[in-house]
Amino acid sequence: MSSSGRMCPEGAPVPPSDRNQAGYTLGFSAAVCVVCAVLVSTAAVTLRDRQVANAELARKRNVLQATGMITEAERPSQEEVESRFASFEVVAVDLRTGLEVPSFDLETYDARRALAQESTSRPAPPNDAQIARLPNHAVVYKQRDPDGRLSQLVLPIEGKGLWSTMYGFLALGPDLKTVRGLTYYEHGETPGLGGEVDSQRWKALWPGRQVRNAEGQVDIAVVRGPAGPASQDPHRVDGLSGATLTSRGVTSMLRFWLGAQGFGPYLEQLRKGDFDDSSP
């Protein structure tokens, strides 16, 4: 009789089950891990093209939201997004010179990935936006009217808030100083406080604001408390209640990217070429 009181048919003791052995447990766990790893890897490879396509669609939707061509309430189909986005010219800009780069591989370029390599980025000068490195190139979006004149420009922006790096788009009108819209599509700010950077109410305060003053200097800021309407207080925007540091972050990143270390040289090139101050 075995220690458990059971007997084999022949009367011999029942041997301990292999399933109670440590080797079996480890082997079974390893097999499960291998199977799960294979399934996850297969899913990642299989869905990669779809993930890339979804990321590209989201980028286009965010550009359109910055310009007001898509509202927060809309849920356009992929075909509608593609149709509206088709009016934009996608351009690579060399941030070191302010010049557009012809024959640039726009399909595969990723500015965040470029920051990880010394050959495609450089240290940023000290700045209030807390930007540590700058990519050598940035991708911008230009829209022209039927006569071929620049009608609006969308610039990618990023900078530190309170808890996170905030990523967004700033849309400018043909004079390159009037805000058409501002949107943030990725951040980790506190919901209900700094997280209000992507609220429809706050974003609605931006159209019509002026990013430069009469002397041509970058002069746009998110202030503590309320600001006046764009017609009366063109360079100031209401602060985010309870989110002073996030508000400062928005001011700092806009001033950085519109200044000499960001898109300032490029905007100057556009003012000389694409935009004529004498045009209506």
| 3-class secondary structure per residue, 202-229 | HHCCCCCCECECCCCCECCEECCCCCCC
With bands split at pLDDT 50, 70 and 90, how would you rate the model's confidence at 277? very low
Query: Cβ–Cβ contacts within 10 Å for residue 222, how many?
Result: 24
* Residue at 166 is within a domain: yes
C-beta separation of 182 from 169 below 8 A: yes
**What per-residue confidence (pLDDT) applies to 71?**
83
d(CA 149, CA 269): 14
With bands split at pLDDT 50, 70 and 90, how would you rate the model's confidence at 248? very high
Q: Flag whether pLDDT at 36 surpasses 90.
A: no
* Averaged pLDDT for residues 114-136: 95
Q: Which segment of 33-42, 69-78, 140-149, 221-230 scores lowest on mean pLDDT?
A: 33-42
Q: What's the structural domain count of the chain?
A: 1
C-beta separation of 210 from 231 below 8 A: no
User: 110 is in which domain, residue-wise?
Assistant: 87-273
C-beta separation of 222 from 202 below 8 A: no
Q: In the chain, pLDDT over 70 holds for what percent of residues?
A: 82
* Averaged pLDDT for residues 218-228: 92
* Averaged pLDDT for residues 215-243: 92
Q: pTM of the predicted model, to two decimals?
A: 0.79
Strand 236-237 and strand 221-222: pairing? parallel
Q: Flag whether pLDDT at 274 surpasses 70.
A: no
Q: Flag whether pLDDT at 19 surpasses 60.
A: no
* Residue at 200 is within a domain: yes
* Residue at 230 is within a domain: yes
Residue 88: partners with Cβ closer than 8 Å, 6 or more residues away: 63, 141, 142, 143, 154
d(CA 263, CA 274): 15
Q: Flag whether pLDDT at 276 surpasses 60.
A: no
d(CA 187, CA 196): 11
* Residue at 159 is within a domain: yes
Contacts of 68-71 with C-beta under 8 Å, sequence gap 24+, read 68/171, 68/180, 68/181, 68/207
With bands split at pLDDT 50, 70 and 90, how would you rate the model's confidence at 51? low
d(CA 29, CA 31): 5
With bands split at pLDDT 50, 70 and 90, how would you rate the model's confidence at 278? very low
Name the more confident of 9 and 212: 212
Average pLDDT across the chain, whole number: 86
Question: What is the sign, positive or negative, of the torsion defined by CA atoms of 28, 29, 30, 31?
Answer: positive
Query: Cβ–Cβ contacts within 10 Å for residue 68, how many?
Result: 15
* Residue at 12 is within a domain: no
* Residue at 216 is within a domain: yes
The DSSP bridge partners found for residue 169 are 156, 183
Q: Which segment of 18-27, 98-107, 136-145, 154-163 scores lowest on mean pLDDT?
A: 18-27
**What per-residue confidence (pLDDT) applies to 18?**
56
* Residue at 45 is within a domain: no
Question: What is the sign, positive or negative, of the torsion defined by CA atoms of 2, 8, 14, 20?
Answer: negative
* Residue at 266 is within a domain: yes
**What per-residue confidence (pLDDT) applies to 117?**
94
